[in-house]
Chains A and B, each alone.
Chain A
Amino acid sequence: GQQVMQIPQYQHVQEGEDFTTYCNSSTTLSNIQWYKQRPGGHPVFLIQLVKSGEVKKQKRLTFQFGEAKKNSSLHITATQTTDVGTYFCAEDNFNKFYFGSGTKLNVKP
């Protein structure tokens, strides 16, 4: 399978600050999914991006898929302590998912 690279590995922010994690691939992705994993929990599906240049919003979360479908980002506006967790992007290879290494977000109140 392909490999998606995710940066940064860790991010510590003050509550109210913004946060962005980036996902990059050397090859074109058919689609990409984003997951959130709370400490001690399992990954939970957030969103799927399919179209080139696609932008989707979920409340304070904004997801983007690059024009070349080789990169994606997740941006959280005005972080809250409930946003704490690890955010993963995952390449969908015919329903076999290849996950990035994740970005661990810590939010200080």
Chain B
Amino acid sequence: ETGVTQSPTHLIKTRGQQVTLRCSSQSGHNTVSWYQQALGQGPQFIFQYYREEENGRGNFPPRFSGLQFPNYSSELNVNALELDDSALYLCASSLDRGPGNTIYFGEGSWLTVV
């Protein structure tokens, strides 16, 4: 296993609600990235956190926000949920933020918005 743990594994929310997903990075990894993977698609980069600061963001609206804590664990928050937010949300950690660092994915959180 990768040592990256995510919770919850599955959840169902209603349109308009808010959701918080959590991720514990692999020990010693200071960089956490979040990805959204819709069914049949490749993972799409949401944002990355490095030492508690946002370090890059993909093409996602501001209602997608995040946090990284001093122990490098992280949260992804999504407000005003829409049906299209239904997807697998993947957290990935890496030893550092530079190019060439391998990322290790967690098992993901399956979010269904009804």
A64-109: which residues lie under 8 A (CB-CB) from chain B? 88, 90, 92-102
Known: A42-B105, A42-B106, A45-B103. A94 touches B97 (CB 8 A): yes
Given the known inter-chain contacts A42-B108, A43-B90, please indicate yes or no for A95 contacting B45, CB distance below 8 A: no
Stretch of B16-24, B36-44, B68-76, B78-86 at the chain-chain interface: B36-44
Closest to B102 in A: A45
Question: Which residues of chain B have C-beta atoms less than 8 A from A99's C-beta?
Answer: 35, 42-44
Residues of A contacting B90 in the complex (Cβ-Cβ under 8 angstroms): 42-43
Judge if B3 is at the interface, Cβ distance under 8 Å: no
Among residues 52 to 73 in chain B, which have CB atoms less than 8 Å away from a CB atom of chain A? 56, 58
A31 is an interface residue with CB less than 8 A from chain B: yes
Pairwise interchain contact B99-A95, C-beta atoms closer than 8 A? yes
B98 contacts which of A88, A94, A100 (Cβ < 8 Å)?
A94
Alpha-carbon distance between A102 and B31 when the two chains are bound, in angstroms: 25
Contacts of B108 in A (CB 8 A): 42
Inter-chain contact A95/B44, CB cutoff 8 Å: no
Q: Which residue of A lies closest to B46 (CB)?
A: A96
- Asked if B94 is an interface residue, CB under 8 A from chain A, the answer is yes
Q: Judging by beta carbons under 8 Å apart, are B42 and A44 in contact?
A: no
A30 is an interface residue with CB less than 8 A from chain B: yes
- Give the docked Cα–Cα distance between A97 and B97 (Å): 11
- In the complex, which residues of chain B have a beta carbon less than 8 angstroms from the beta carbon of A45? 102-104
B31 to chain A, nearest CB (A): 6
Interface positions of B (Cβ within 8 A of A): 31, 33, 35, 41-45, 48, 56, 58, 88, 90, 92, 94, 96-108
Shortest 9 CB-CB contacts between residues of A and residues of B: A99-B42, A42-B105, A95-B97, A96-B56, A99-B43, A101-B42, A102-B42, A43-B105, A92-B99
Give 18 new A-B contacts, CB below 8 A, not counting A95-B48, A95-B97, A97-B92. Answer: A30-B99, A31-B100, A42-B107, A43-B90, A43-B105, A44-B105, A45-B104, A94-B97, A97-B33, A97-B35, A97-B45, A98-B45, A99-B35, A99-B42, A99-B43, A100-B42, A101-B41, A102-B42
